[in-house]
Structure 1
């Protein structure tokens, strides 16, 4: 049975008991903003396979949103989220209110974690402060879910949010968090569209149009595999021609620095508005 906790103290008490009862050597954590889908389920299954205790967080983090309207419209369904957690064998869920995580918000937190230059490019350039919000809340969650005793924390992140994954991994390395980051491959619909909570906001027409993002990435992967010209300008034009799609960026970057590269291995990233919904996707371009 999945136990729902609403406060940090409640979560810590329940986690301490569970780790002791199961003599757990590790705890798996799946940090989320709710609106769970099969991509999150894949993270939970990976955590369940690795750890005697599995936890998840459901928290729509206001620090990640520049637009108050975007924050307000972000989908929320606690009952459905808890049902998915139950189905995937999650032991403990923390679903706090904003005041629990950030007392006196918006005047807090005063001290925040910066994502540095990695958080100021690509998605960070279009969403100023977003990755500082990610780094701050993830660092809090790592502290909140840190198990007592010899047990170690493992945190599971989807590769769909590649820039987030890289920033969190770098934060763990730079700040010496005793946490193991476990990447989990992107989950896709049959159409190729990457699973995302924001897909819930798409109309059927826009859902079809959104496949232009993954189509461009798979075309780029094919070209890179065959040593052909990447022709990013042509692929950008192709995405812009899709109905109701406004391309923000399509770039190929070094996986370690996020800086543009013309060498393999590399990472291709794309972001666009489909209607009013912002979507991101990426794909690895391996060396020949």
Structure 2
């Protein structure tokens, strides 16, 4: 695995791969890697010739500076995992490399429309603008044919899909299934911060999602939402939302409809905020 810290050097190396007719796959990460990330790498290896991963904790997408400071870092272990998984190139830029004028400089504004105003967008203002800024920068650095992201960040995937449309990119987005622990908890870098007691409680978030999914359509969704939120509160969570949305455009729904849907949840356990979702229909 080759490691690059500068955009120019990475671009030169990948340019040679493209000249050789290689298809480039890309999995962007913020590090603190787990098997969910590795599953993205595995998908990329199946679909493409050259796999690029990046590790960059992006300051512009954190609303709370403390959350940015507390984001787990396990770089040595991450490099070992990526090497074992067969990554060809690792892009490990500094903040100065990605933001030469500084993270607080003026950046482009992306018209993501409705999808950045609800759910995570409502609770984390400007978060998705930060996502758009860094994903655009990373795509320009890597210029991949295929982009691999996890379904756990469902709304983020829809934001990136819209970003590709806005920028006229030919990169194809692949949304890969959420990987879960044996008890059902969605794999997440934030899980590293859970105490043993919190970890035992955290599984209730996926159990509640599954309960809502199993009962969807048996009674009004408003009742399912209320009971689901109560279940989370009883378990010790402070929930932000539990919603049903269109899988096509993230419209919030009062009742199931034809086509793909997603049930999405966000809740705090102590000072750790967890998100999860499950899809319904096709």
TM bracket (short chain): over 0.9
d(CA) in 1 for partners of 2:8 and 2:168?
A: 24
Structure 1 residue aligned with 2:7: 8
Structure 2 residue aligned with 1:232: 225
Shift of 1:208: 1.2
Q: Which 4+ runs in 1 deviate beyond 6 A?
A: none
Structure 2 residue aligned with 1:86: 83
Tell me if 1:182 matches 2:167.
Answer: no
* Structure-1-length-normalised TM-score: 0.92
Kept in 2: contact 1:115–1:135 (CA 8 A): no
Q: 1:90 aligns to what SS in structure 2?
A: coil
Structure 1 residue aligned with 2:152: 160
Structure 2 residue aligned with 1:198: 190
Aligned length: 276
Cα deviations by residue, 1:74-117 (Å, 9 ceiling, x for unpaired): 01122111111101111001111101000121342433434333
Q: 1:93 aligns to what SS in structure 2?
A: strand
* Structure-2-length-normalised TM-score: 0.94
Cα deviations by residue, 1:200-246 (Å, 9 ceiling, x for unpaired): 1111111111111101110111112xx41242111111111012x11
Q: 2:204 aligns to what SS in structure 1?
A: helix
- Stretch of structure 1 that moved more, 81-90 or 106-115: 106-115
- Among 117, 122, 125, the alignment partner of 1:125 is 122
d(CA) in 2 for partners of 1:60 and 1:119?
A: 20
Structure 1 residue aligned with 2:27: 30
d(CA) in 2 for partners of 1:62 and 1:112?
A: 16
Summarize the Cα distance change of 1:107–1:248 in structure 2 as closer, same or farther, 3 Å threshold: closer
d(CA) in 2 for partners of 1:164 and 1:238?
A: 26
d(CA) in 2 for partners of 1:270 and 1:64?
A: 19
Kept in 2: contact 1:272–1:280 (CA 8 A): yes
Shift of 1:71: 0.5
Structure 1 residue aligned with 2:277: 282
Kept in 2: contact 1:114–1:135 (CA 8 A): no
- Stretch of structure 1 that moved more, 125-134 or 230-239: 230-239
Structure 2 residue aligned with 1:256: 248
Shift of 1:263: 2.0
Tell me if 1:222 matches 2:221.
Answer: no
Instruction: Name stretches of at least 5 consecutive residues in structure 2 with no aligned partner.
Output: none
Structure 2 residue aligned with 1:242: 235
d(CA) in 2 for partners of 1:62 and 1:115?
A: 20
- Stretch of structure 1 that moved more, 105-114 or 166-175: 105-114
Structure 2 residue aligned with 1:70: 67
- Stretch of structure 1 that moved more, 96-105 or 171-180: 171-180
Structure 2 residue aligned with 1:50: 47
d(CA) in 1 for partners of 2:14 and 2:164?
A: 22
Instruction: Name stretches of at least 5 consecutive residues in structure 1 with no aligned partner.
Output: 147-151
d(CA) in 1 for partners of 2:177 and 2:115?
A: 21
